[in-house]
Structure 1
Amino acid sequence: MIDLRRLEILRELDRCGTIAATAQAVHLTPSAVSQQLAALSREAGTAMLEPDGRRVRLTAAAQLLLSHAHEVFTHLEHAESDLAAFRRGDAGTVRLGSFASAVSSIVVPVLRTVAERSRLQVYTVEVQPEGAADALLGRSVDLALTLSGEPPTADDDARLHVEPLLTDVLDVALPVGHPLAAGPAVDLADLADEPWIVNIPGTPCWQVAVSACARAGFTPRVQHRADEFTGVIALVSAGAGIALLPRLAQDVLPQAPVVLRPVAGVSPVRHIGVQYRAGTAAQPHIAPVLTALREVCAALARCAPGAQRQRLTAVATASA
């Protein structure tokens, strides 16, 4: 019989890449990790590791075993859900990962809603969207808000599930006195010769901005890059360029001499979702937080936050 703990160590090695990183993730010494994997090889009747320069890599047999292990651990998650439902407890701790611009509009109302309905303790952890999967698989969070420039598709990893929650529209931010600030909306094609302020390459907002400009027939002339929206808004207010700002972030930004106008035609959007480990959505301590997330995002879709009084687009979701 294959030991589940050793199988979990093998899964962590596949995720972490090195014995040292795996040891840190599973709270063992590197020597103990090697011993456990050697024991797993004996149990399986074939080697799990092979040399790869100064490191090791998983053998084909180990990859085959892992393909079954993912299903095994998902079934165990379901078993935990059933046991937790049997106990019918409503107390516990849930760790919710969130990116910064969702805290005010989404996370805070979720905390308030959960506190009104149960004795659950929800702890928030700042997790960048690109780190959500690792945070979930490493069990540092139970739920993670995701952010992408494209709608969520079928799950790439069978161990995780992502559920769409909301699409967040981006508006054009212009300095006061800009010739296009007087109109009700801005055609992006009219901004082709403007200096642009964008987020760091590879981030969802950068992806949305570049794609929107491409649809309008041009490549933005990027003059400034900023990771935080406070920096973006400061640069726009100083007349250093124009930018696209998501509506969820607009109300938490400092007051600045900036004009916000919707994009004419098809609005650029970023897609917000929630990701969790497969088999955990029905667990009694997870389900109430998921329900609150869905409700808060539905409310945002009906009435977007703040003075902009813009409309967000709801995403129809099915209960997990």
Structure 2
Amino acid sequence: MLDIKRLQILLAIVEEGSVTSAASALGYTPSAISQQLLRLEREAGQPLLDRHARGMTPTDAGLVLATHARKVLRQLAAAESDLADIAGVRRGSVTLGTFPTIGSSFLPLAVRRYKELYPNIALTIHSGREDDLVRMLEEGKVAMSLLWDYAWERVDNDELVLTELFTDPTVLLVGATHRLARRRTVRMADLAEEPWIIRAGGHPVVEVLQRSAVAAGFNPTIAFQANDYQEAQAMVSVGLGIALAPRTATVNQHPDVRVISLGDTAPPRRILVAHRTGRVRSAAELALHDVLVETASTYS
């Protein structure tokens, strides 16, 4: 039986015109190409190439076999393509849940990469609050979802499989003319006398502030409750107070706001991707998971 890899080598020699060029095209050494060619000629029972000073030319048998090799290799490529389509890597759809701070920072980078790799996959994204995202996961309305948690309140759901993507630090927002605006790092203990801008409605960053302030030995004075991070930044920019935010919330930074590291004096959050336990995952979904992990590995 003729070996398909050796047929590929014969075709490359015929098309490239030499062993050296075929080796370069296929990623082999010239000696490996020559050895495989000799084995193919033994399998065929006759010479397939005429060797001469200027290179090699195919014999009649070599031309016939190369023609068949070209057809066989094209059919194999078509078969692999059809299997990929069936598996959903090149066709199909996948749904993803996300939340605003990640949807406006990390996620677009992953989506761009996914669409480059799998342009024919229909990707649908739903943005919402975390409790809504968990419900959509449980009900199967999204295949997977981005979530977050803090050390004191981990996502604890036996129906979900979690993969940590990266750590999202808590940073300090101050106005451009604030006394600390030129600092690269400050500690929460340096902020005891400052007025604070917080998120309204019991937002998780409020608990981050409370825990960090208590650990630093003070109770924060609240100057304003903002409905979103853009409103918070606007009030910080005019000196009404300072604020905490996850670093991912500062991608669209106000021009008159400075972002300062708090080191280890304010807790970070984990960014996670979750899918439902026992879910039969399509190739499109698995590929998206891989792209999210890959993008997270270089995200900072």
Q: Could you list the per-position Cα deviations for residues 141-168 of structure 1 after superposition, in whole angstroms to 9, with x for gaps in the alignment?
A: 2111112222785x63322222211111
AA matched with 2:215: R
AA matched with 1:122: L
Q: Aligned-residue CA RMSD in angstroms?
A: 2.5
Q: Is the 8 A contact 2:130 2:147 kept in 1?
A: yes
AA matched with 2:285: I
Q: TM-score, normalised by structure 2?
A: 0.65
For 2:207, the equivalent position in structure 1 comes to 207
Cα shift at 1:225: 1.6
User: 1:247, 1:151 → 2: CA distance?
Assistant: 19
Q: How does 1:1-320 map to 2 (within 5 A)?
A: 88-90=87-89, 91-118=91-118, 119-150=120-151, 153=154, 156-253=156-253, 255-280=254-279, 282-300=281-299, 304=300
AA matched with 1:148: D
Q: Is the 8 A contact 2:88 2:282 kept in 1?
A: no
Question: Residues 263 and 158 of structure 1: is their aligned pair in 2 closer, same or farther, counting only changes over 3 Å?
Answer: closer
Question: Residues 281 and 200 of structure 1: is their aligned pair in 2 closer, same or farther, counting only changes over 3 Å?
Answer: farther
Question: Residues 194 and 85 of structure 1: is their aligned pair in 2 closer, same or farther, counting only changes over 3 Å?
Answer: same
Q: Could you list the per-position Cα deviations for residues 115-156 of structure 1 after superposition, in whole angstroms to 9, with x for gaps in the alignment?
A: 222222111111212322111122222111112222785x63
Q: TM-score, normalised by structure 1?
A: 0.61
Cα shift at 1:293: 0.8
For 1:7, the equivalent position in structure 2 comes to none
Cα shift at 1:264: 4.5
Question: Residues 149 and 198 of structure 1: is their aligned pair in 2 closer, same or farther, counting only changes over 3 Å?
Answer: farther
User: 2:294, 2:280 → 1: CA distance?
Assistant: 16
Identity of aligned residues (%): 27
Q: Could you list the per-position Cα deviations for residues 21-63 of structure 1 after superposition, in whole angstroms to 9, with x for gaps in the alignment?
A: xxxxxxxxxxxxxxxxxxxxxxxxxxxxxxxxxxxxxxxxxxx
Cα shift at 1:289: 0.8
Question: Residues 183 and 108 of structure 1: is their aligned pair in 2 closer, same or farther, counting only changes over 3 Å?
Answer: closer
User: 2:220, 2:192 → 1: CA distance?
Assistant: 6
User: 1:196, 1:211 → 2: CA distance?
Assistant: 14
Question: Residues 98 and 274 of structure 1: is their aligned pair in 2 closer, same or farther, counting only changes over 3 Å?
Answer: same
Point out the more displaced range, 204-213 or 222-231. Answer: 204-213
Point out the more displaced range, 229-238 or 263-272. Answer: 263-272
Max radius of gyration: which structure? 2
AA matched with 2:277: A
Q: Could you list the per-position Cα deviations for residues 46-94 of structure 1 after superposition, in whole angstroms to 9, with x for gaps in the alignment?
A: xxxxxxxxxxxxxxxxxxxxxxxxxxxxxxxxxxxxxx99953322211
Cα shift at 1:226: 1.6
Q: Is the 8 A contact 1:164 1:272 kept in 2?
A: yes
Cα shift at 1:256: 2.8
Q: Is the 8 A contact 1:151 1:271 kept in 2?
A: no
User: 2:173, 2:274 → 1: CA distance?
Assistant: 30
| Aligned-partner SS, 2:292 | helix
Q: Is the 8 A contact 1:189 1:213 kept in 2?
A: yes
Q: Is the 8 A contact 1:147 1:204 kept in 2?
A: no
User: 1:257, 1:130 → 2: CA distance?
Assistant: 34
Cα shift at 1:175: 1.6
Unpaired runs of 5+ in structure 1?
1-83, 305-320
Total equivalences in the alignment: 216
User: 2:203, 2:95 → 1: CA distance?
Assistant: 24
Cα shift at 1:261: 1.6
Point out the more displaced range, 116-125 or 174-183. Answer: 174-183
Cα shift at 1:243: 0.4
